[in-house]
Amino acid sequence: MANKSVREKRRELFDDEVDQNISAVKVKAGKDGSKVTTVVATPGQGPDRPQEVSYTDTKVIGNGSFGVVYQAKLCETNELVAIKKVLQDKRFKNRELQIMRKLEHCNIVKLKYFFYSSGDKQAEVPCDMSIFMATSTSLQKDEVYLNLVLEYIPETVYKVARHYSKSKQTIPISFIKLYMYQLFRSLAYIHSLGICHRDIKPQNLLLDPDTGVLKLCDFGSAKHLVKGEPNVSYICSRYYRAPELIFGAIDYTTKIDVWSAGCVLAELLLGQPIFPGDSGVDQLVEIIKVLGTPTKEQIKEMNPNYTEFKFPQIKSHPWQQYMLSRMSTPFDSANHQKIRCSVQACTLLQVFRARTPPEAIELVARLLEYTPSSRISPLQACAHPFFNELREPNTRLPNGNELPPLFNFTEHELNIQPSLNNVLLPRGVQEPASSPPDGATSSGTAEQSDTASTPLQAAASGIA
């Protein structure tokens, strides 16, 4: 027999590992008649110590090409969770699982447990005391599913934005600041680990309407990028694809997430996507309409192998020209009023509404750069003057309650770009938090009164 390659041996070992870890699924009737499912699951973080986990009240809340997402309630704590069930190729480790087990951040959805199951007919089994082993031939034993048990967050930025759009209203700028700051903080964290999300869009930004906390979710497209190793260019959802992806680059960086975040910010300011398009060509045309035609040097920076330079020569909008002239200008409050006066003289209505804060437009310009290396980092975005209001000690949510945790930086976060720490940490916040709980805040507890109602809560009630 020919010697097996190292890769083949690893695949066989992982195949055996998955088979050994397929959970026995127990389904029984609870005291109230509801169906209770018990599985042996492994905690998302920490050592592999499988334990029994029971959940009930299971219902489908989403599905797609990736699989199915269920909502369920943990019996032990009554906590709501989301269970993402995806088909597992036994020859390969699941990249999403491997990445999520490494992540622990207050702005990233938490992986509580994971387990493997087999077959897709369990929901049709009667609720009795029988024990259904996942290796049963009646449950199609050759099909293995990975189940990710995640914390449940009720809303998304997409749903809230759609609510305001249907009401012909704009999202309050204070909410845009709150959402985008937390998104940039989550990106700074994963990028510091070399992880690129590769699918930043409003649908993947979860929101808790009671606290205003945002959490990044869906790491199904995420990857640890290694310099020199090729990556697929057909990644990221349309409207949010960086131009280097449209140009077919395979050696891109985490800056594709920064571009996507810039598209999200622009969309929240505009009330609609800034670069809509049904295809890559359409997308590029929309980008050129706003940013102007990329130069040969910019195209080379995006993809050195791209040699077709047949583009119509379109000039960028005045707002972009102005902002580009400010790229080398450091952030400081002394010239902030000058920025405001100068920007008001520009033809802002061609892209953004007249009342759009100039510092918001400047931030968009620093994110939506053709040259990937010219885009600011997520942590630099957090330090941008657009978010200064969040750092003021008296800033509150529109209903008067405390802001969610924004400055409970860990030592790891403060070591990403230490030169920014003086800006990132508000006055009175000096010491980094050491592994803070998700619910902790830097300036108090984010409690909600029984009668208070935020615009977010109104949005949630209108789209439930």
Q: Which residues are annotated as a binding site for ATP?
A: 85
Q: Which residues are annotated as a binding site?
A: 85
Residues 6+ apart with CB under 8 A from 424: 379, 382, 383, 407, 409, 414
Separation CA 167–CA 297 (nearest Å): 44
155: number of CA atoms within 13 Å, CB side?
A: 26
Separation CA 24–CA 76 (nearest Å): 19
Separation CA 236–CA 231 (nearest Å): 12
Exactly one of 199, 208, 210, 218 is catalytic; which is it?
199
Verify whether residue 120 is a known catalytic residue. Answer: no
What the block records as the tokens of 305 is 């192998």
What the block records as the tokens of 171 is 């999202």
Q: What is the DSSP string of 389-456?
A: GGGSTT---TTSPPPPP-S---HHHHTTSGGGHHHHSPTT--SPPSS--TT--SSS-----SS---HH
| CA-only gyration radius of the chain, Å | 24
Assign 3-class secondary structure to 27-77: EEECCCCCEEEEEEEEECCCCCCCEEEEEEEEEEEEEECCEEEEEEEECCC
Q: Give the residues across from 151 on adjacent strands.
A: 81
Q: What residues act catalytically?
A: 199
